[in-house]
Amino acid sequence: MSSDDMHGAASAPEAGRGLAAADRVPLYLFGLTLLVIVAFVAGVAQFEATECSGPEDGECDMAAFGGIFWALCAFTAGVVAIVVAEVVRAVRRRTGRAPAGVR
């Protein structure tokens, strides 16, 4: 009997294999939502700093569109990152290679 069997560390079928897909989805949604909000605020701030700082006050009313553009770019990058992470995960699972740090 191994030490893992005695302590129950490896008795669960998913032990050491990371989170299940149903557990990853809410984390992905939370992270993506947070990324989009931060990108929107950063886009608005950047637009206001560059376009509203003139003697005629520039186009300050367009700052929301700058934020929306940044948010859309962040959303697209986040979705691509999630897809790449899931593809890498599936390939590793299919080839039998465990992620780094997992035995």
- Burial of residue 59 (CB within 10 Å: 0-12, 13-18, 19+) is middle
* Structural domain span for residue 48: 23-52+63-96
Instruction: Report yes or no on 39 lying in a domain.
Output: yes
* Residue 89 is assigned to a structural domain of this protein: yes
Q: pLDDT digits over 29-82, tens only?
A: 999 999 999 999 999 999 888 887 666 666 778 888 999 999 999 999 999 999
Is the pTM higher than 0.75? The answer reads no
Residue 68 identity = I
| pLDDT at res. 82 | 93
Cα→Cα distances 20→15, 28, 37, 90, 100, Å: 11, 12, 26, 12, 17
Please tell me the predicted confidence (pLDDT) of residue 87. Answer: 92
What total of structural domains would you count in the chain? Answer: 1
Q: Does 16 have pLDDT greater than 90?
A: no
- In this structure, is residue 14 part of a structural domain? no
- Residue 69: CB partners within 8 Å, gap ≥ 6? 43
